[in-house]
Amino acid sequence: MMNSRDKFIGHYTERIEDEQLLHGRATFVDDLHLENTLFAFVLRSSIAHGVIKRVNTSSAKELMGVHAIYTGADIATEFNQVVPTIPIRLAPIDDLKRFKQPIIAYDRVRYVGEPIAIVIADSLERAQDASEAIEVDIEPLAVVGNWRSSSQNISTLHPEFKSNIGTVYHAKKGSISPRNNAYHYRKETFKVHRHTAVTLETRGLVAHWDEQHTKMKVYGATKVPFFNRACLGETLNLPLESIEMIEVAVGGGFGVRGEFYPEDFLIPYCSKKLKQPIKWIEDRTENLLGTNHSREVECDIELCCDKSGKIISLQSTLHVDAGAYARTSVTTVPRNSAQFSSGPYDIPNIDVTSTVYLTNKCPIGSYRAPGRFECDFFRERMLDMVATDLGIDRIEFRRMNLVKFNQMPYPLARIDNPDRYEELDCGNYLTTLDRCLKEFNWDQKALLQGKKIDGKYHGIAVGCFIEGGGAGTKETAKIEVNDHGKINVYVGSANLGQGVVTVMTQIAAEELDVAMGDIEVFHGSTTYLEEGFGSYHSRATIMGGSAVLVVAKALKEKIKEVAAQHWQCSASDVTLLPGLVCSYQSQTLALNQLKKDQLSISGEFPCKINTYAYGSAAAHVSVDEDTGKVELLDYFTIEDIGRIINPLTAKGQAIGAVVQGLGGVFLENLVYDEQCQLTVGSLADYLMPTASDYPIIRAMELQEHPSQLNPLGAKGAGEGGIIPVAGLMANAVSNALSSKGIQVNELPLSPQAVWGLMNTL
């Protein structure tokens, strides 16, 4: 809960990061101009599936300005015919490890955009020109374009394993007898299309191998720099202490950026070979072709209820199109979309099977609310459909089935391989739903439900969601008093634009009772701390912030001890005044009067249990009968995030996430043709929301039920905005078009798709 004595936490606080960004002085990776830098261009496969017969670089190597070209065969030779692979970072299992991506293609290509060769030249233009002089001979194989053809094994991506199935997960709870003698059941099939984060800054790296000091610096790291350092150390056979991963400013993460990609090996590798700094900046087409895709899941689902409308069971089969390889975060979508099927609802019996299929498309990974966005769509659609079947008001139906306050902690389905148990920690889901309806003005808007006004059908919908956050197992921090008597805070969290510096400063200033200006937060290098775990799964504030809090407390005790030594008294007799001024009897000592050598504390906050923020969202849309265009007339989202550190950034996260979700629902679509060529090559094809598309989004953040799992009481806040968007929009559109008997079962809801629904029945 907000403590009224808090000076910084919970207060409107402008961001510290903004000053540099607004001046145009922040350094992004392409802003680096190291001396003697060479430029890399990656030659990528234009064929989705094939056997590499020959890659001839001899004439390309002769071109002016070309320093080197490395192919898969070259790298295979150097690594004793075993090309290094990208490890699976989250929940790795042997099944999926079979399909890890080699850092460069050497015998086969499996998706359009897969690296075949890397060219290093004295300018990007020359590197690119030289890549066009490389002769590539690939014998095409039949492509696997979707999970269905993947399951038929007509063509096998990795023939040695004889199957395109990566693995099969099971999420279970209670028991499933045939329909549990249900009064009512309904079966449906739903589909979410392939789309992804598309950060405004593309990926990029500058690697600098210093031969003299045997040090590798890699600029452009983010999200999980310590993990990537370990990957690089292993693949390049370098000790960790010789590698420094440096975070510069980052133009958006949303899950996809900062994972270990082929280039995260190739660029440092080339720098080490050539002993010069090498810059690589992904272009937009490469970004669309090769940076993790996400979201493509099909679902067969069955929901059973008793006569009163209480849900008895949920059964579903999920088909996840994982693309060509199992990359670092391949497991997140299939696991989350299975385990979180029930969302915030009390469903005693659950049986979900989630199958990972390999196809000749870009590999998948986490994208903001991975698996959660998808399964929320499936579930919330089912709830509206089943409520209608039973003649129960959709709000009453949700109220009846939401997990109740006194059921907390509430167990979710347990997932296997590796086994993971999850429970909802705390909260009052019903009051938040009621608040949502009130703020949205539901009763008034409900009068428009299904009505046609001026050629547009109106629809409203409401949905409920949970947001997991705070992935373990721990986070680290170090706080020290610097030579000027100010405070340096080192964190293991990464800043991807979400305001980590401001939030950490607020937390440290609050605990230490110093001005925010007396604190400087450092997150930009793997040299600051022994280890760090990064920013994903809405964990930076919860885990990183708690680590800062724990270490700040320890520093205060240490300061008292040092002052006590000075005064030859007991530390318990020393009190701390604002500004970390030590006081003993009538004497005081300022921070810069204390011996500095002991005033550096490292620590960590361990926690293996996830927090669950929760909330509700409601929306009002109209659908144009002539064009199929959906207009968003109002959107309200409310979420209890446990404790609000910075109201400004918390709301910013919520609204930004909603709009990103709306892009996914209405605009964004990574379409492959029948040869598995990506037909979306630029931002003119991959449409994203603009300033005039969704001008009315309202968000409210609550802190009614702080988490008991961390000393801040914080829960995740970066993903809740996006989670309910698809279910909500699909329900609102279906409700708008109820007079036509239209049910939305597939995304995206582009004008063509909605028009198609209205004109094929």
**Residue found by looking up tokens 């709830």 in the block:** 383
Q: Which residue, 249 or 758, is less far from other proteins as judged by CB?
A: 249
Q: Which residue, 31 or 561, is less far from other proteins as judged by CB?
A: 31
Laid out side by side, the sheet with 165-173 consists of 184-192, 297-305, 311-321, 349-357, 165-173, 414-415
Least distance between other proteins and beta carbon 462 (Å): 20
Whole-angstrom distance, CA of residue 510 vs CA of residue 516: 8
Q: Which residue, 67 or 126, is less far from other proteins as judged by CB?
A: 126
Q: Which residue, 400 or 688, is less far from other proteins as judged by CB?
A: 688
Among 25, 404, 451, 484, interactor with other proteins by CB under 8 A: 25
Q: Which residue, 252 or 492, is less far from other proteins as judged by CB?
A: 252
Least distance between other proteins and beta carbon 208 (Å): 18
Whole-angstrom distance, CA of residue 438 vs CA of residue 5: 30
Cα atoms found within 13 Å of the Cα of residue 667, Cβ hemisphere only: 18
**DSSP labels for 601-645?**
EEEEEE--S-EEEEEEEEEEEEEETTT--EEEEEEEEEEE-S--S
Kindly state whether residue 277 participates in binding other proteins, applying the rule CB under 8 A: no
C-alpha 417 chain-centroid distance = 21
In terms of Cα–Cα distance, which of 290, 376, 322 is closest to 164? 322
Give residues 670-699 in contact with other proteins (rule: CB under 8 A): 682-684, 688-695, 697
Whole-angstrom distance, CA of residue 750 vs CA of residue 121: 43
Least distance between other proteins and beta carbon 264 (Å): 20
Kindly state whether residue 153 participates in binding other proteins, applying the rule CB under 8 A: no
Kindly state whether residue 632 participates in binding other proteins, applying the rule CB under 8 A: no
- Tell me which DSSP letter residue 389 carries: H
Q: Which residue, 95 or 693, is less far from other proteins as judged by CB?
A: 693
Among 97, 191, 629, 651, interactor with other proteins by CB under 8 A: 651
Kindly state whether residue 132 participates in binding other proteins, applying the rule CB under 8 A: no
Give residues 469-498 in contact with other proteins (rule: CB under 8 A): 496-498
Among 461, 658, 749, 757, interactor with other proteins by CB under 8 A: 658
In terms of Cα–Cα distance, which of 606, 452, 80, 41 is closest to 286? 41
Least distance between other proteins and beta carbon 445 (Å): 20
Helices (H) and strands (E) in the chain, counts: 19, 30
Options 251-259, 401-409, 509-517, 546-554: segment touching other proteins (CB under 8 A): 251-259
Binding track, positions 68-107, relative to other proteins; x by CB under 8 A = ----------------------------------------
Q: Which residue, 129 or 380, is less far from other proteins as judged by CB?
A: 129
Options 27-35, 235-243, 454-462, 626-634: segment touching other proteins (CB under 8 A): 27-35
Token digits of residue 623: 């659908």
Q: Compute the radius of gyration of the chain from its Cα atoms.
A: 27
- Using DSSP bridges, classify how beta strands 115-121 and 38-44 pair: parallel, antiparallel or unpaired: antiparallel
Whole-angstrom distance, CA of residue 209 vs CA of residue 212: 9
Among 119, 246, 250, 678, interactor with other proteins by CB under 8 A: 250
Instruction: Report which residue type is found at 208.
Output: H
Residues of the shown chain interacting with other proteins in the complex, contacts defined by CB under 8 A = 14-15, 17-19, 21-28, 30-31, 33, 125, 197-202, 249-254, 283-284, 496-499, 648-649, 651-652, 655-660, 682-684, 688-695, 697
